[in-house]
Amino acid sequence: MEFIDLGRQYKALKDRIDGRIANVLGRAQFINGDEVRELAEKLAAYCSRKYCLTCANGTDALTLALRCLGVGEGDAVFVPDLTFFASAETAALAGATCVFVDVDKRTFNLDAVKLENRIRQVIAEKKLKPKAIIAVDLFGLPANFPEIRKVADKYGLPIIEDAAQGFGGSINGKRACSFGDISTTSFFPAKPLGCYGDGGAVFTDNEDYYKLMASLAFHGKGSHKYDNVRIGYNSRLDTIQAAVLLEKLKAFDDYELTDRNKIAAKYDSYLKDKFTTPLIPENFQSSWAQYTLILDDENERDNLQKHLNANGIPTMIYYPIPMHALKAFEDIKTPSEEIEVATKLTKTVLSVPMHPYLKDEEIKFISLKVLETR
């Protein structure tokens, strides 16, 4: 059994994907081919945004967003303490200082009340300038944007939505990648919408932001390719990946997102009476990048992981170390009461296999093996 079975997905979509790739190969239009433009248009439409720019990966997407917003030295960027490293790494790479913020104990996402606390602390200390909020749609569930937006507006801060795991989720029918002043996503193969290599995208409704990010992603180009007006990057999604994503987006929209939700509901039905299953707040929808259980303590979590692995069921711990405790961030001192929840979650979470091609008997088998441990 696979944790995320990309092989099964390829089998289902093989003819269409192979045809798309062969078409690109035949035209030898490997960079900036028609598929790249078509994909950006479809992604923008899917997320109801004015602009989408595809780029090389989700990490670059964050870097483009941070550069676009002018984040740099002396700035504080507020980042959840429980996330993938890149959410914080890119802010540090831009020269800013990460201020780690605790997460909600059931949704795993940025806690808006604690966010405001941290912003007030930074203002009171007068050392850093609050500059931006990075809110992550962890495990496929959009962050609490209604509340986070209130805080952001109160302090005049832009929001970067890191939707690397969130593509396809929604709040009141409004889709992920539409909540940030700039939103970013990743097409890393294991993400809800993944390609066959690296890929990413940024989304915005602001034309100036879009133009600036398009320039940054293309060596800081001005009016043409050899008119370089700023220091930028080379960050492109190649045509083959765009071709793969056009087919995968179709399947995602046609049935995969629906199936992900059906599978999560099946897990819930087996497990919810005896285990702490994922909480999806009312009016929120997840794209189920992960299905993550919360155990009572580290010991129980580790025993469950061993039991499942012994039965051939792959599991993952997202994430084993909170951002504030990583060696790379050892210079940043975070009061322990500010990151209590994230710290506890790193010791108690366990993610089980989750992908739209999981079969009923597999969901049942995994659930029965989980149930055996309590």
Ligand X SMILES: *Cc1c(COP(=O)(O)O)cnc(C)c1O
Binding site for ligand X (CB under 6 A): 57-59, 83-84, 86-87, 136, 162, 164-165, 186, 188, 198, 200
Contacts of 94 (CB under 8 A, 6+ apart): 63, 66, 67, 71, 72, 75, 77
Closest approach, Cβ 267 to ligand X, in A, equals 21
Q: Calculate the CA 330 to chain-centre distance.
A: 24
CB nearer to ligand X: pick between 79 and 151: 79
CB nearer to ligand X: pick between 165 and 261: 165
Q: What whole-number distance in Å separates Cα of residue 125 and Cα of residue 42?
A: 45
Which residue's Cβ lies closest to ligand X? 58
Q: What whole-number distance in Å separates Cα of residue 4 and Cα of residue 204?
A: 30
Residue pair 100/334 in contact by the 8 Å Cβ criterion: yes
CB nearer to ligand X: pick between 186 and 346: 186
Q: What whole-number distance in Å separates Cα of residue 140 and Cα of residue 257?
A: 11
Closest approach, Cβ 300 to ligand X, in A, equals 26
CB nearer to ligand X: pick between 97 and 183: 183
Residue pair 112/148 in contact by the 8 Å Cβ criterion: yes
Q: What whole-number distance in Å separates Cα of residue 135 and Cα of residue 164?
A: 11
Closest approach, Cβ 94 to ligand X, in A, equals 14
- 129-136 and 75-80 beta bridge pairing: parallel
CB nearer to ligand X: pick between 58 and 356: 58
Residue pair 143/280 in contact by the 8 Å Cβ criterion: no
CB nearer to ligand X: pick between 68 and 136: 136
CB nearer to ligand X: pick between 59 and 287: 59
CB nearer to ligand X: pick between 56 and 171: 56
Q: Is 85 helix (H, G, I), strand (E, B) or coil?
A: coil
Q: What whole-number distance in Å separates Cα of residue 372 and Cα of residue 374?
A: 6
Residue with the two structure tokens 């366990």: 350
Closest approach, Cβ 57 to ligand X, in A, equals 4
Closest approach, Cβ 360 to ligand X, in A, equals 28
- 284-285 and 170-171 beta bridge pairing: antiparallel
CB nearer to ligand X: pick between 115 and 370: 115
Residue pair 358/263 in contact by the 8 Å Cβ criterion: yes
Q: What whole-number distance in Å separates Cα of residue 3 and Cα of residue 1?
A: 7
Closest approach, Cβ 339 to ligand X, in A, equals 17
Closest approach, Cβ 227 to ligand X, in A, equals 29
What H or E segment, with its residue span, contains residue 367? helix 360-371
Closest approach, Cβ 77 to ligand X, in A, equals 14
DSSP string, 263-325: HHHHHHHHHTTTSBPPP--TTEE---S-EEEE-SSHHHHHHHHHHHHHTT---B-S-SS-GGG
Closest approach, Cβ 369 to ligand X, in A, equals 27
CB nearer to ligand X: pick between 6 and 12: 6
Closest approach, Cβ 138 to ligand X, in A, equals 7
